[in-house]
Amino acid sequence: MPYARSLRILGQSLEKAKLKRFELETDGSNYLMQIDSLDAASEWILRQAVGPVARDSILDGSVRFTPDDISSLEDQAKKQRKIDSSHTQTYRPLSQLLRTLGDYLSRMEVKTFHISWASSSVVVDFQLPDGRIDSRTFTVEKLEQLGPHSRFRRTTRINTNLPNR
C-alpha cells in the first residue's frame, strides 16, 4: 500500500482524536504510533476512531497498525462518507498533510521512516533504497505548499496547434 494512502487513512483517525503531537514509524509492513501526552478524553476518542482493529493495542500511548487494520479503517471511512454524503466535505488538514508527506516518501522510494509530528514542525528521518539515512524538517506551511505539487495535482495541457492571437 502506498505511503500516501496509508498515512491519509491514519491521519483521518488521528484527526478525530485531535492529536497535536505524535510519532509514527514503519515497522516492516506495519506502522507504530507513539503518543506522548494522551489525556483520558483523547484516548477514548482515539479508541473509538481506530475501532476494534487496533483498540486493544493502545497501551501506554502506543498503537500498532497492520495492513489489515489500515484496510479496515479505510472501509470504515468509506462507509462514513456514504452516510455523510449529504453534508459538505470538510477539509481534513492532518490527513491531507500526511497524504502529501506519504506521497513525498513514496516518490523518494524510502524503505523505512520515522515521523515526529508537532504543531510547529514535522521531522522525518528515513532510509533511502541505497541504505543512506537522511532527514527532512517541514513546517505545516511547507507541507501545504508541497501538496499542490504532488502527483495528485491536475496538469494543465497546452495546445500548441492553436495560433497566437
Domain boundaries, the chain: 3-149
Report pLDDT digits (tens) over 103-125: 999 999 999 999 999 888 999 99
Tracing cell 502506543 back to the chain, one arrives at: 62
Q: How is residue 124 written as a grid cell?
A: 522525518
By C-alpha distance, which of 2, 32, 10, 11 is closest to 114?
32
Per-residue pLDDT of the chain (165 residues; tens, 9 = 90+): 689 999 998 888 788 777 778 899 998 899 988 887 767 777 777 777 766 655 556 656 678 888 888 888 888 877 776 766 554 444 458 889 999 999 999 999 999 999 999 888 999 999 999 999 999 999 988 988 887 655 444 333 333 343 443
Strand order in the sheet with 133-138: 62-65, 30-34, 22-27, 112-117, 122-127, 133-138
